[in-house]
Structure 1
Amino acid sequence: MDTNLLREVLARWASGVVVVATMTDSGRRHGMTASSFSAVALDPPLISICLTTTSTTQRLIEQSDIFTVSILGHDHEPIGRRFAGMDKSGTTGRFGQERWDTAQTGAPVLADAVGWLDCRVAARHEAGDHTIILGTVQAAATPRSAEPLIYHARTFCKLRNAMMQGVIQ
């Protein structure tokens, strides 16, 4: 399979944008922007994230066995860019000036996220150059209602007029 073609085809799939974060035993917070996130089951409450096996975030989650998923709203594009490593200004660090709360597991969650999930690792599955991590949801919240931030064709997008049309409430 031509990886460039595969990458081009997969870029056609629109997805929501999240920040996956963890906290190490030494108190170090770390996170990254991700679009490979999915609900798996309600009973037991399971979600999945797919992370590059060699990523720092994957390695730190493997060590801590905890992670959070903060679902970004349309106005969180700067956060999405920063956690994706696209903001090279280096003035605020990844966790920036936004308010980050500490979830039940000790991992950070974005205080004004559209929603967040606090998880303990339930299982890991190697899948090519990625690791599929299943998380058992320990706590969840919907701090505010807002249109989602979308990732499509290698760029951040906004879901236009969905709230006005009654699709998102």
Structure 2
Amino acid sequence: MAGAGGFADVLDYPMYVVTTAAGDERAGCLVGFASQCSMDPPRFMVWLSKANHTYRVARHASHLAVHTLRRDQRGTAELFGGRTGDDIDKFGRVEWSPGVGAVPVLTDCCAWLVGRILERVDAGDHVGHLLAPVAESPPGPVRPPLVRFSDVMDLSPGHPA
């Protein structure tokens, strides 16, 4: 769909930084395939590319953290979307603190949630991670413009999708 014209060409969805940890490994990447998928009970689905370092760590993780970024945080989007954890320690370049399940929570993001992984769904080149939220950031005073697909579509990814 993406780049195929028609429907996908008009989408301008929010982008998220997803982080996780398993054992002594931390990982994080920029994703666009994510959405709330249930209100009662609350659920959020995140899709990770099988080619991605974060996916390989998430296979052994119990939790994921999902972060929204303000539009002025393109540098953070570039770090998590344009670099791979196979080559660099992304977390040495941002401020973070350990969250539930030891997942890194980015301290300078707009909003975040940590979710326990309930289920993994193989859907081809991406695997969906169904999350039950267990912690989230407090509400902010304003809703700033978020990083969207159109803001990062020129990035060269750290891994192919």
Normalising by the smaller structure, the TM-score range is 0.7 to 0.9
Q: Report how many residues are paired.
A: 150
Q: Is residue 47–residue 137 contact of structure 1 (8 Å, CA) maintained in 2?
A: yes
Q: Residue in 2 aligned with 1:109?
A: 105
Once residues 104 and 122 of structure 1 are traced to their aligned partners in structure 2, the CA distance between those partners, rounded to angstroms, is 15
Q: Residue in 2 aligned with 1:58?
A: 55
Once residues 4 and 76 of structure 1 are traced to their aligned partners in structure 2, the CA distance between those partners, rounded to angstroms, is 24
- Given the two structures, how large is their TM-score scaled by the length of structure 1? 0.77
Change (3 A) 1:131 1:48: same
Q: Residue in 2 aligned with 1:85?
A: 82
Q: Percent identity?
A: 23
Q: Is residue 2–residue 9 contact of structure 2 (8 Å, CA) maintained in 1?
A: no
Per-residue deviation, 1:14: 0.3
Q: Residue in 2 aligned with 1:68?
A: 65
Per-residue deviation, 1:117: 0.7
Q: Residue in 1 aligned with 2:145?
A: 147
Once residues 102 and 40 of structure 1 are traced to their aligned partners in structure 2, the CA distance between those partners, rounded to angstroms, is 26
Once residues 2 and 16 of structure 2 are traced to their aligned partners in structure 1, the CA distance between those partners, rounded to angstroms, is 25
Per-residue deviation, 1:4: 7.9
Alpha carbon RMSD of aligned pairs, Å? 2.6
Change (3 A) 1:52 1:128: same
Once residues 4 and 112 of structure 1 are traced to their aligned partners in structure 2, the CA distance between those partners, rounded to angstroms, is 30
Q: Residue in 2 aligned with 1:6?
A: 4
Q: Is residue 35–residue 45 contact of structure 2 (8 Å, CA) maintained in 1?
A: yes
Amino acid at match of 1:34: V
Q: Is residue 11–residue 152 contact of structure 1 (8 Å, CA) maintained in 2?
A: no
Q: Residue in 2 aligned with 1:32?
A: 29
Per-residue deviation, 1:11: 4.4
Per-residue deviation, 1:140: 0.7
Runs of 5+ consecutive residues of structure 2 not aligned to the other structure: 156-161
Amino acid at match of 1:123: E
Which runs of at least 4 in structure 1 moved beyond 4 Å after TM superposition? Answer: none
- Corresponding residue SS for 1:82: helix
Q: Which has the larger radius of gyration?
A: 1
Q: Is residue 125–residue 131 contact of structure 1 (8 Å, CA) maintained in 2?
A: yes
Change (3 A) 1:128 1:96: same
Matching of residues 12-27 of structure 1 within 5 Å: 12-26=10-24
Per-residue deviation, 1:96: 4.4
Instruction: Spell out, residue by residue over 1:107-146, the C-alpha distance to the aligned partner (whole angstroms, 9 max, x if none).
Output: 0111121110101111111112111111111111146442
